[in-house]
Structure 1
Amino acid sequence: MSVLASKGQLRASFIRWALFTVPTCVLLGFLSGQFGSPNSAWFQSLVKPSIFPDPIWFGIVWTILYVMMGLALALICAAWGAKGRTLAIILFVVQFALNIAWTPVFFGAYQMTGGLIVLGLLAIALIATIVAFWRIRALAGALLIPYLAWVGFASVLNYEFLRLNPEADGQAPTQSVQRIEF
Structure 2
Amino acid sequence: MTKYPMSKQVLGFFGWLSICFATAALGALASAQAGSFYKALIRPLWAPPGWLFGPVWTVLYIMMAISAWLIWREYGLRKAGPELALFVFQLAVNALWTWLFFVWHLGALAFAEILFLWLLIIATAIMFWRRNRFAGALLIPYLAWVSFASVLTWAVWKSNPHILA
Q: Same fold (TM over 0.5)?
A: yes
Taking the aligned partners of 2:122 and 2:79, their CA distance within structure 1 comes to: 15
Match of 1:180 in 2: none
Greater helix percent: which structure?
2
Counterpart code for 1:118? E
**Is the contact made by 2:35 and 2:50 (CA closer than 8 Å) also made in structure 1?**
no
Q: 1:112 aligns with which of 107, 111, 116?
A: 107
Taking the aligned partners of 1:140 and 1:84, their CA distance within structure 2 comes to: 16
Match of 1:175 in 2: none
Counterpart code for 1:150? W
Could you tell me the TM-score, scaled by structure 1's length? 0.81
**Is the contact made by 2:2 and 2:76 (CA closer than 8 Å) also made in structure 1?**
no
Match of 1:166 in 2: 161
The residue correspondences of 1:8-157 to structure 2 (distance < 5 A) are 9=4, 13-36=8-31, 37-40=33-36, 42-80=37-75, 85-157=80-152
Taking the aligned partners of 2:110 and 2:80, their CA distance within structure 1 comes to: 30
Taking the aligned partners of 1:93 and 1:82, their CA distance within structure 2 comes to: 12
Taking the aligned partners of 2:120 and 2:138, their CA distance within structure 1 comes to: 15
**Is the contact made by 1:84 and 1:132 (CA closer than 8 Å) also made in structure 2?**
no
RMSD: 2.1
> Unpaired runs of 5+ in structure 1?
171-182
Taking the aligned partners of 1:135 and 1:13, their CA distance within structure 2 comes to: 24
Deviations 1:21-72 (A, max 9, x none): 11331232123221133224x4433212111112121000000000111111
**Is the contact made by 2:2 and 2:75 (CA closer than 8 Å) also made in structure 1?**
no
> Unpaired runs of 5+ in structure 2?
none
Taking the aligned partners of 1:82 and 1:30, their CA distance within structure 2 comes to: 25
Could you tell me the TM-score, scaled by structure 2's length? 0.89
* C-alpha spacing 1:169/1:126, structure 2 compared with 1 (3 Å): same
Following superposition, the deviation at residue 15 of structure 1 comes to 2.8
How many residues get paired? 164
**Is the contact made by 2:38 and 2:50 (CA closer than 8 Å) also made in structure 1?**
no
SS in 1 for 2:35: coil
The structure whose Rg is larger is 1
